Amino acid sequence: MLQAQLLQRKTTKVFKAFCDDTRLEILELLQSGEKCACVLLAELEVGQSTLSHHMKILVESGIVHARRDGKWTHYSLDQAGSEDATQLLKSLTTIKTAADKKYEEGCC
Amino acid sequence: MLQAQLLQRKTTKVFKAFCDDTRLEILELLQSGEKCACVLLAELEVGQSTLSHHMKILVESGIVHARRDGKWTHYSLDQAGSEDATQLLKSLTTIKTAADKKYEEGCC
DNA sequence: TTAACATATTGACATCCTTCGATATGAGGG
DNA sequence: CCCTCATATCGAAGGATGTCAATATGTTAA
């Protein structure tokens, strides 16, 4: 429901950027530098509204930066946002060797 | 359709591990060390079949390692898989400063 | 072998996500 | 002020995902 989505963690939003084939293609296109939406549209096999939807997700995740220039919007990889995502991934998957570790073998 | 899922990139599978609140909770629980499924089940507010479903996704993404011990299954963060995911994220978001960069401003 | 327990799988249902076509918004040029 | 172009938003359709209850599988102990 609506409420559930609002309560969803920001973290899931970040990683959803990488969970769709079309978005991965977009990221790969942006690896060679900033690109206009119309250029991305020409390279991809999706409709214009679909591209707009994906760009919104990418921008809101912080992975991509949007720069408006007149009628055009130029997109580029956001290095700061990407670094944040990397740190987030690392912290999620790092084992905390806490001093107060206990009950390790107490299963069931 | 079925075909579409089969053709989906392995990359999306990896990052889907981080795209659900319950799975993030599981990862956080595993940060303090290996844990039995029954322990995870006690800590989370989901049914047993749901937990099993999430553990399968986490294991198949490479982020979590499963160790079978009699009736019990112990899960832990897979450091190698996590490192792979981090590298994947980095490579997806790194700008390639290619020597043959060109047509930078050629929009539309 | 049977019973009890831990985990996995199945089927059903609701929600979420991707996609499209149609339309709205917004900017520039004539 | 209109017209055109670039992008965004809306509404609908279908596919993917998360969840549960029920059941299956597999392991240990009696």
Strands across the sheet with B35-36, in order?
A: B35-36, B72-77, B64-69
Angle, in degrees to the nearest 10, between helices B48-61 and B21-30: 70
**Mean pLDDT rounded to a whole number for chain A:** 89
What pLDDT, on a 0 to 100 scale, did the predictor assign at position A2? 34
pTM of the predicted model, to two decimals? 0.90
- In the structure, what pLDDT confidence band is assigned to residue B3 with cuts at 50, 70 and 90? very low
**Mean pLDDT rounded to a whole number for chain B:** 90
Report yes or no: B102 at the A interface, CB cutoff 8 Å.
no
Interacting residues of B61 by C-beta distance below 8 A, sequence separation 6+ = B13, B14, B15, B16, B17, B81, B85
Can you give the CATH number for the domain in which B23 is found?
1.10.10.10
Task: Tell whether B50 is covered by a domain.
Answer: yes
Length of chain B: 108
Strands across the sheet with A72-77, in order?
A: A35-36, A72-77, A64-69
What pLDDT, on a 0 to 100 scale, did the predictor assign at position A101? 53
What pLDDT, on a 0 to 100 scale, did the predictor assign at position A97? 83
Interacting residues of A71 by C-beta distance below 8 A, sequence separation 6+ = none
- In the structure, what pLDDT confidence band is assigned to residue B102 with cuts at 50, 70 and 90? low
- In the structure, what pLDDT confidence band is assigned to residue A77 with cuts at 50, 70 and 90? very high
CA distances from A19 to A3, B77, B87 (A): 22, 21, 16
Domain that holds residue B72: 2-87
B106 Cβ nearer than 7 Å to chain D strand? no
Alpha-carbon distance A49 to A46, whole Å? 8
Task: Tell whether A61 is covered by a domain.
Answer: yes
**CA dihedral sign, ordered B23, B28, B34, B35:** negative
Task: Tell whether B95 is covered by a domain.
Answer: no
A1-15 pLDDT tens trace: 334 444 688 999 999
B81-86 average pLDDT score: 98
Token output for A22: 């079309």
What distance in Å separates residue A48's CA from the closest CA in chain B?
A: 14
A8-49 pLDDT tens trace: 889 999 999 999 999 999 999 999 999 999 999 999 999 999
A53-72 pLDDT tens trace: 999 999 999 999 999 999 99
B57 Cβ nearer than 7 Å to chain D strand? yes
- In the structure, what pLDDT confidence band is assigned to residue B40 with cuts at 50, 70 and 90? very high
Token output for B35: 């844990």
Task: Tell whether B99 is covered by a domain.
Answer: no
Question: In A, residues 72-101, which contact B (CB 8 Å cutoff)?
Answer: 72, 74, 76-77, 79, 82, 85-86, 89-90, 92-96, 98, 101
Task: Tell whether B97 is covered by a domain.
Answer: no
- In the structure, what pLDDT confidence band is assigned to residue B104 with cuts at 50, 70 and 90? low
Task: Tell whether B15 is covered by a domain.
Answer: yes
Domains contained in chain A, number = 1
Burial class (CB in 10 A: 0-12, 13-18, 19+), A92: buried
- The fraction of chain A above a pLDDT of 90, given in percent, is 80
CA A52 to chain centre: 15
Task: Tell whether A101 is covered by a domain.
Answer: no
Task: Tell whether A30 is covered by a domain.
Answer: yes
